[in-house]
A and B are shown apart, each in its own frame.
Chain A
Amino acid sequence: MRDPYSVLGVSQNASDDEVKKAYRELARKYHPDNYQNNPLADLAEEKMKEINEAYDTITKQRAGGYSGSSPGSYGYQQGYASATANPAYARIRNLINAGDLNQAEQLLYEVGQKDGEWYFLSGSIAYRKGWLDEALQNYTRAVQLEPNNVEYRQALAVMQRGSMGGYRPAGYTSSAGCDPCTAYLCCSCLTPWGGPCC
């Protein structure tokens, strides 16, 4: 295993706060939300595991070998977990998760009836392929058909955020307006002047 300090990009004698800060920044970078249905999600997951382990090791070492509080490590839950009624859809979801898009597309076209989930899955396949315009259209249709489905709405919301979504390193946040993480704060009254920050 690599040296945990170099994984987090801090020196051996960094303070606890510095280690924590570095860990937070990396966790924000490789957060599963940034790689949802991304063909590179498995690579991000590996990175996440690596930094979780590194942070774990450092905190244990610093607690004098005593395994104290484990970090609130961000977990990675890959793929789609929600239950589906149609067995064909379940198979298609597995194929998408495995990255076999051609097979998934073929199976999907064999399903006769087009409901919300059909459009959602069709959108997911398009998204994975990088056909983002088609993905947006399909997600929109899915939400229209089933407005109460959280999964569909979330997928659509990620795409509608546009340049506001995703991770940006510190210093590159200004041009896009507001950082998505602090956006929550912006809209509330938590700014010192009690209003929106941007």
Chain B
Amino acid sequence: MFGYVRPFRPELKCRDYDLYRATYCGLCRCLRRRYGLIAPLLLNFDFTFLALLLWEPEETFIPCRGRCHGNPLRKLPMCPDSPALELAADESVILAWWKLRDSVQDDGLWRGLPARALSGILKPAYKKAARRCPEFDRTVRACLEELAALERENCSSLDRTADTFARLLRAAAPCDGARGRVLSQLLYHLGRWIYLADARDDLEEDKLAGRYNPAAARYGPDGDDGALGLTMDNSLAQIGAALQLGDFGCRTPLLENIVYLGLPLVQRAVFDGSWKEIKKQKIWRNDT
């Protein structure tokens, strides 16, 4: 997706860092096993967070070892395959596909060529994933279509446009029972937050290109960082409140780090423009 959802490394305990890394590597392996050699390209931090969130609560975590996709000579600790990991893998393929189709339509004949080529390669994987989660596939398609329609009519309501992406992400978790309600609420506001962060990040670029931008449509061409920041903070508060009501077992400290430290930090970086640099950094490196 976008990579906005990541932990704040300096405040992570070693065991939580190991857990995060093992989940990341486990998701990579799961993508490779289910969807073939190019699927690990779709691996990202946002879906690692989703996998952590969807995991059934466990008291302790025992990794197994597996070969790294990037460097098959190395063996790394990885999370064993689980329903949460598989769901996150399926959903990242579906979302990647529909985003590619989106840019194929937006970018015209020539500029849309790379996206067209990529989506051709991804098609078999998408078909498989859509068979596995037909409901999510339908929701993503409907929400992105709705979003495109709102963009075309230059919608000035921040909530209405953000709502489409928020509902899309909400559909990523099963919604039944108390746990389902907690996850739905959390993911709704996470989706809203990601959409708004992305809107702020693209503000300058969209202004130059003359494209629609929800923050510009709501607050004027230069946006309004105070008001946008406040409404994003409000979504963060809702995410935190929902997180506290769920049982996440040994993953709780890691999830809390992401929600209470990672997201606010990324938000600040997006607002002061340093995000473009931070985005490229690998969080595995030791010097950051």
Q: In the assembled complex, which residues on chain B have CB atoms less than 8 Å from the CB atom of A169?
A: 256, 260
Report the Cα distance A168→B11, complex, angstroms: 15
By the criterion CB–CB under 8 Å, are B237 and A160 in contact?
no
| Inter-subunit contact B233/A134 (CB<8 Å) | no
Q: Is B192 an interface residue, CB under 8 A from the partner?
A: yes
Q: Which residues of A contact B189 (CB under 8 A)?
A: 130
A163 within 8 A of B: yes
Cα–Cα distance between A120 and B260 once the two chains are bound (Å): 29
Which residue of A is nearest B167, CB measured? A130
CB-CB under 8 A from A92, the residues of chain B are none
**Contact (Cβ within 8 A) B241 A35:** yes
Contact A34 B231, beta carbon cutoff 8 Å: no
0 or 1 for each of B217-253: is its CB under 8 Å from A? (1 = yes) = 0100000000101110111111011101100000000
Please, how many angstroms separate the alpha-carbon atoms of A132 and B231 in the complex?
Answer: 6
Chain A residues lying within 8 Å of B157, measured Cβ to Cβ, are: 133-134
- Of the listed residues B189, B192, B236, B238, the one surrounded by the most CB atoms of chain A closer than 10 A to its CB is B238
| In the complex, chain B residues 17-44 whose Cβ is within 8 Å of any chain A Cβ | none
- B109 interface hit (Cβ, 8 Å): no
Q: Given A40-B181, A133-B159 in contact, is the A163-B264 Cβ separation under 8 Å? A: yes
Question: Which of the four size classes fits the interface of chain B?
Answer: 35 or more
User: Is B261's CB within 8 Å of the partner chain A?
Assistant: yes
Closest to B252 in A: A169
Interface of B is mostly: helix
Quick check: B166 and A130 within 8 Å, CB to CB?
yes
In angstroms, Cα B264 to Cα A167, docked, is 15
From A34, A47, A136, A172, give the contact of B230 (CB < 8 A).
A136
Chain A, Cβ-Cβ closest to B244: A29
Q: Which residues of B contact A35 (CB under 8 A)?
A: 241
A133 touches B244 (CB 8 A): no
Q: For residue B261, which residue of chain A has the nearest CB?
A: A175
Decide yes or no: A175 and B163 within 8 Å by CB, A35-B241, A132-B234, A132-B235 being known contacts: no
Q: Does A58 belong to the interface (CB within 8 Å)?
A: no
Q: Is A44 an interface residue (CB 8 A)?
A: yes
Per-residue interface assignment for chain B, residues 147 to 176, with 1 indicating a CB less than 8 Å from any chain A CB and 0 otherwise = 000000000011110010010000000000
Chain A CB within 10 A, most for which of B166, B185, B260: B260
**Inter-chain contact A30/B264, CB cutoff 8 Å:** no
Query: When chains A and B are docked, how far (Å) is the Cα of A47 from the Cα of B247?
Result: 12
A167 and B231 within 8 A (CB) = no
Any B CB within 8 A of the CB of A63: no
Determine if A175 and B242 form an interchain contact, defined as CB atoms under 8 angstroms apart.
no
Q: Please name all residues of chain A whose beta carbon is closer than 8 Å to the beta carbon of B163 when the two chains form the complex.
A: 129-131
Q: How far is the CB of A29 from chain B (nearest CB, A)?
A: 6
Q: Is B182 an interface residue (CB 8 A)?
A: yes
Q: In the complex, what distance in Å separates the CA atom of A169 from the CA atom of B158?
A: 30
- Whether the pair A40, B260 counts as a contact (CB closer than 8 A) is no
The docked-state distance in angstroms from the alpha carbon of A136 to that of B181 is 24
Known: A163-B264, A175-B264. A44 touches B245 (CB 8 A): yes
Are B241 and A40 neighbours in the complex by a CB distance under 8 Å?
Answer: yes
Q: What CA separation (Å) do A130 and B233 show in the bound complex?
A: 13
Cβ-defined contact, A40 with B242, below 8 A: yes
Contact in complex: A132, B159 (CB < 8 Å)? yes
Given A47-B245, A168-B260; A133-B218 close (CB under 8 Å): yes
Q: What are 29 of the A-B contact pairs (CB < 8 Å)?
A: A29-B244, A35-B241, A38-B241, A39-B185, A40-B245, A43-B245, A130-B166, A130-B192, A131-B160, A132-B159, A132-B231, A132-B234, A132-B235, A133-B158, A133-B218, A133-B227, A133-B231, A134-B157, A159-B230, A162-B229, A162-B233, A162-B234, A163-B233, A163-B237, A166-B240, A166-B241, A167-B240, A172-B257, A172-B261
Those 7 A-B pairs whose CB atoms lie nearest each other, nearest first:
A131-B159, A162-B233, A172-B260, A163-B233, A166-B237, A132-B234, A133-B158
Given A162-B234, A163-B264, A167-B240, 6 more A-B residue pairs with CB atoms under 8 Å apart are A30-B245, A35-B241, A38-B241, A126-B159, A162-B229, A167-B241
B residues apposed to A, CB below 8 Å: 157-160, 163, 166, 178, 181-182, 185, 188-189, 192, 218, 227, 229-231, 233-238, 240-242, 244-245, 256-257, 260-261, 264-265
